[in-house]
Amino acid sequence: MRRVEVMDAREIARALERMAAEVVERGGDEEQLYLIGVQTRGVPLARRLARLLAASTGREVPVGALDITLYRDDIGPWRPAHQQPVLRATNLPEAIDGRVVCLVDDVLYTGRTVRAALDTLMDYGRPRAIRLAVLVDRGHRELPIAADFVGRTVPSSRVEDVQVRLKETDGEEGVWIAREDGHER
Amino acid sequence: MSGERVTRLRGKDLLGIDPLSPGEIQLILDTAVEMREIAQRPIKKVPALRGKTVVNLFMEASTRTRFSFEMAEKRLSADSLSFAAASSSVSKGETLLDTALNLEAMQPDFLVIRHPHAGAPHRLAKVLRSSVINAGDGAHEHPTQALLDALTIRLRRGGLAGQVVAIVGDLQHSRVVRSNVLLLSRMGAKVRVAGPPSLIPVGMAALGCEVYTRMEDAIAGADVVMMLRIQLERQGRMNFPTVREYYDFFALTPERLKLARKDCLVMHPGPMNRGVEIDSRVADGPQSVILEQVTNGVAVRMAVLYLLAGGYGEPTAD
Amino acid sequence: MNRLLIRHGRVVDPAQRLDDGMDVLLVDGAVARLAERIEDSQAQVIDAAGLVVAPGFIDVHVHLREPGFEYKETVATGVAAAVAGGFTAVCCMPNTSPVNDSAAVTEFIAKRAAEAALARVYPIGAVSKGLSGEELAEIGEMVRAGAVAVSDDGKPVHNAYLMRRALEYTQLFGIPVIDHCEEPTLAARGVMHEGAVATRLGLAGIPAAAEEVMVARDVVLAELTGGRVHIAHISTRGALERVREAKARGLQVTCEATPHHLALLDQAVAESEFDPNTKMNPPLRSQEHVTALLDAVLDGTVDCLATDHAPHHADEKALEYDLAPFGVVGLETALPVTYDLLVRRHGLPLKSFVALWSTAPARLLNLPGGTLRPGSAADVTIFNPEARAVVNPERFRSLSRNTPFAGQRLRGWPVMTIVGGRVVWQRERR
């Protein structure tokens, strides 16, 4: 396995600052805004965005955590026998009805995770709107899903793995492209 | 406890606590914690087991465990069918094996089975492709009960290690005590069991507990007291004289409860015999977590179903 | 062929204190001669090089199930299983339907055995009519018809008064009372040995005390009456101690042990995950008892081995552990299980091994055979102490397959069985 760094800590920080600015710009809905991070790495990213928004607008934006495992399309029959993915916590401190929910995730790839997140959210209530903020968009969409706020577009090939690593979850900070040895670009 | 985090259960069945490692027990409890949250949602349903069929084969009378499983199954969007069949197989016609094979021909994904004879789920698990979940086999095990009891203690106390748990009642005939002793001792709790000497099975201590014949000695300073239902229907008068005598010596009364630690948890697997093994003042009192056990029961059963589900593909290294 | 010459084998005959390389000549159904080297141009020659040649093995405790339970086993299939296991004779228990409590049933069984013309069958008659434990059966009539002992096995003779009278009455015929020692109220509804394993498995237990209490009673009654009692399938430390004491005091108390009680522990129930092929009565015991039993076999307290061959149909053994009937087959695994365990692993001398299966059973029940002394019946068991094979129940000659030894790799297998000078079975060459 070889990996190549495509974003370092500073670039991540700058991308998040820019995304926060775009959120404010798109804004007018700040009072209704509700950031919900998709487990696992979307959660610390959502918290960072919330802090940036609070710093620039003076307003506290609520942050929630959403585990979408139970709504994934690849559990059950399409999965190897008896090997379910681990469940993580869902914690929504406020109701989502009538709010503008901004889902936050680390990587947007096929779009299936976002589809699952949308279905999960729908069972919690009826938001006024749902937006999507991702740190990295790596292309190769399999569903008609697009992000509203993107930190960086990172073209990748299917045999590669785009790895976002954050201090809070991984102890290191950066975005890498990794590929198995033998798959040369 | 092992350091490595377990992310899946070995095998296709849940037949008892005995085969589970501490890591697997931890995984089930962690998953159950997340499952509890679903009951708080406006829509108490997730599609995780959509299209899966679960057959509840209850060969022994039970309303609450069956209901609990049914609720768990429906909350996961599984299709749930319940059979309450006559208990004794041979005299009533079809053998247990035949009943199960016939059911399997209809391709259920899960068979949840409660049976009056120990080992019945194990024999079935060997021949059926479905995942078999033991909802109680004779006096042997009742794994989901022990798991929900452990979850209840963990949520109230933050963990199981070091907790002193006293379990009191008819130990000879109780599958609940066997599963609980195995689980709690495996997770680092200290278990004391007590009951009339004529109802203490040989070699009980080898399961991982201290054995007492005086209830007061077992509950002194305990963090948790768990009362077992005295099996009136199975109670041969040669093992124990009367209900009145049982109450006098082995019931959890407010006076006896004072011997435990001040905010000791009071637990009972249900259904209770009020005024026999437990006084109503205690059952309904502030220390009772009996109803939490019921809530946690649904979550634990959801966790077990979720973790055992999956396709029919060969398990791969993740 | 009425002349059979068995050559180059190792002849082990404890009755003649023989353990040597010898040739054996059988003529017209009897042992004619033993010598270091025999020539006989007219005889059919059997090359027994590398093999042990012993007086025919006798199993004093089998259930042939006929009349009444032919779906489990018949006399014909039972004796076929016996010769395939190296046995030239068996004694069959009376818990058939109708019970063997009369000369008529005894004669019927003997007739069936004669028709099958394989192993010899010596019936054991009932102690009580219908096995009900209330009235003595017509013991004398049964003895006249060929019965060699009486027993109420699978049940105990639980009425002490009846046991006393039986021990007295049988002295008229010179036969022992064989008792299945189990105090029924202590055993209650137990299905396996009462101990830590049963507790862990949530199965009701049969305490060792149930056997010991009954053995103690029988020893007292043997002393009171001067009669002969033979303890069937002894399995507990306490019972063995009482038998040892009784023998030391000169009482006519004998006992037998089964291969499964020597080879398996109660732990097997857990390891097999509640497989009813581990269920029998008396049950598999814990280490303490199995060790005591082994010691008792090695020190001679146990007089002989016997299988308690108890066939049951596969459907019956496919029931829940609590509901499945007690019993396992044993004829076709007895020799390898006991040879492997006692001779190979525990150093029991080969002579003692042969005595346990042949010399002693014959003497105990006063049966012809148990020796290759010239003039005795030409019943011979030939086995290969080095043969290795895996127990495969599908290849059993018995109608039933309920064995706890399926899949076990064992060393020491029978290769030929000769009854009355006829080769009635030999191992197929593969």
> What is the reported pLDDT for B28?
96
Distance from CA of A89 to the nearest CA of B (A): 6
* B-chain residue closest to C275, CA distance: B123
State whether residue B39 sits within 8 Å of chain A by CB.
Answer: no
Q: Residue A80, SS3?
A: strand
Q: Is B27 on the interface with A (CB under 8 A)?
A: yes
Check residue B189 and give its pLDDT: 98
Higher-pLDDT residue of B5, B129: B129
pLDDT tens by residue, B303-313: 999 999 965 44
- For every one of its 430 residues, what pLDDT tens digit does chain C have, with 9 covering 90 and above? 589 999 999 999 999 999 999 999 999 999 999 999 999 999 999 999 999 999 999 999 999 999 999 999 999 999 999 999 999 999 999 999 999 999 999 999 999 999 999 999 999 999 999 999 999 999 999 999 999 999 999 999 999 999 999 999 999 999 999 999 999 999 999 999 999 999 999 999 999 999 999 999 999 999 999 999 999 999 999 999 999 999 999 999 999 999 999 999 999 999 999 999 999 999 999 999 999 999 999 999 999 999 999 999 999 999 999 999 999 999 999 999 999 999 999 999 999 999 999 999 999 999 999 999 999 999 999 999 999 999 999 999 999 999 999 999 999 999 999 999 999 999 987 5
Given this model, what pLDDT does residue B37 score? 92
Give B84→chain A minimum CA distance, Å: 27
Query: How many other CB atoms sit within 10 Å of the CB of residue B166?
Result: 28
* pLDDT above 80 (res A74): no
B15, B87, B95, B123: best to mutate for the C interface, most C CBs within 10 A: B123
The proportion of chain A whose per-residue pLDDT surpasses 90, expressed as a percent, equals: 75
* C323/B175 touch (CB, cutoff 8 Å), yes or no: no
Interface contacts (B, C; CB < 8 Å): 81
Neighbours of B74 (CB within 10 A): 17
> pLDDT digit string (tens) for B18-38?
999 999 999 999 999 999 999
Q: Closest Cα to residue A177, out of A34, A4, A2?
A: A4
C186, C199, C313: best to mutate for the B interface, most B CBs within 10 A? C199
Cβ-contact C414, C83 below 8 angstroms = no
Which residue bears the tokens 């101690």?
C241
Is the CB of B11 less than 8 angstroms away from the CB of A82? yes
pLDDT at B112 over 80: yes
Our answer to whether residue C295 is catalytic in this structure is: no
Predicted-assembly ipTM surpassing the 0.85 threshold? yes
Check B203 against C203: CB less than 8 A apart.
Answer: no
> Which tens digits make up the pLDDT trace of B252-310?
999 999 999 999 999 999 899 999 999 999 999 999 999 999 999 999 999 999 999 96
Set C308, C315, C322, C340: catalytic member: C308
Evaluate whether A12 touches A173 at the Cβ level (below 8 Å).
yes
Task: Please report the pLDDT score of residue A79 as a whole number.
Answer: 58
End-to-end CA distance of chain A: 13
Q: What pLDDT score was predicted for residue A80? A: 62
Chain A residues in contact with B30 by the CB 8 A cut-off are 86-87
Of C201, C275, C320, the CB nearest to B89: C320
Task: Give residue ranges of B with CB < 8 Å to any C CB.
Answer: 18, 88-90, 95-97, 115, 117-120, 122-123, 126, 137-141, 175, 178, 201-204, 206-207
Query: For residue B137, which residues of chain C lie inside 8 Å, CB to CB?
Result: 202
The yes-or-no verdict on residue B315 having pLDDT over 70 is no
pLDDT score for A75: 67
CB burial string A72-111: b at 16+ within 10 A, e below: beebbeebbbbbbbbbbebebeeebeebbbbbbbbbbbeb
The pTM for the full model equals 0.88
* Cβ atoms C154, C126 nearer than 8 A: no
- CB count in 10 Å sphere of residue C320: 27
**pLDDT-derived band at B42, boundaries 50, 70, 90:** confident
Torsion, CA C323, CA C328, CA C329, CA C333, rounded to 10: 150
Are the Cβ atoms of A76 and B49 closer than 8 angstroms? yes
R_g over Cα of chain C: 20
**More confident site: A84 or B211:** B211
The minimal CB distance from B119 to the residues C205, C274, C315 is found for: C274
> CB burial class (10 A; 0-12, 13-18, 19+) of residue A27?
middle
**B217-257 confidence digits (pLDDT tens):** 999 999 999 999 987 555 466 788 888 889 999 999 999 99
Which pLDDT value is given to residue B90? 40
User: What are the structure tokens assigned to B241, written together?
Assistant: 């004289």
Query: How close C201 comes to chain B (CA, Å)?
Result: 5
- Distance in Å, alpha carbon of C160 to nearest chain B alpha carbon: 23
The helix, strand and coil proportions of chain B, stated in percent and rounded to the nearest 5, come to: 40, 15, 40
With 50 as the cut, is the pLDDT of residue B91 above it? Answer: no
Q: Virtual CA dihedral for C262, C266, C272, C274, nearest 10 degrees? A: 130
- C205 contacts chain B (CB < 8 A): yes
Burial of B243 (0-12, 13-18, 19+ CB in 10 A): middle
Instruction: Please choose, from the candidates C22, C27, C86, C85, the residue with its C-alpha nearest in 3D space to the C-alpha of residue C49.
Output: C22
> 3-state SS of chain A: helix, strand, coil percent to 5?
30, 30, 40
Secondary structure of B34-53 in HEC code, one letter for each residue: HHHHHHHCCCCCCHHHCCCE
Query: Do chain C and chain A touch with ≥3 beta carbon pairs under 8 Å?
Result: no
Q: What is the pLDDT of residue B7?
A: 85
Best of C186, C194, C200 to disrupt the B interface (most B CBs within 10 Å) is C200
What are the angstrom distances between the C-alpha of A46 and each of A7, A33, A54, A134, A145? 19, 12, 12, 10, 20
- Nearest residue in C to B180, CA atom: C200
Q: Please report all neighbours of C, defined by 3+ CB atom pairs within 8 A.
A: B
Whether the CB of C315 is below 8 Å from some CB of chain B: the reply is yes
**Does B46 touch chain A if contact means CB atoms closer than 8 Å?**
yes
Could you write out the DSSP letters of every residue in C187-221?
HTT--EESSHHHHHHT--EE-HHHHHHHHHHHHHH
Give the confidence band of A72 by pLDDT, cuts at 50, 70, 90. confident
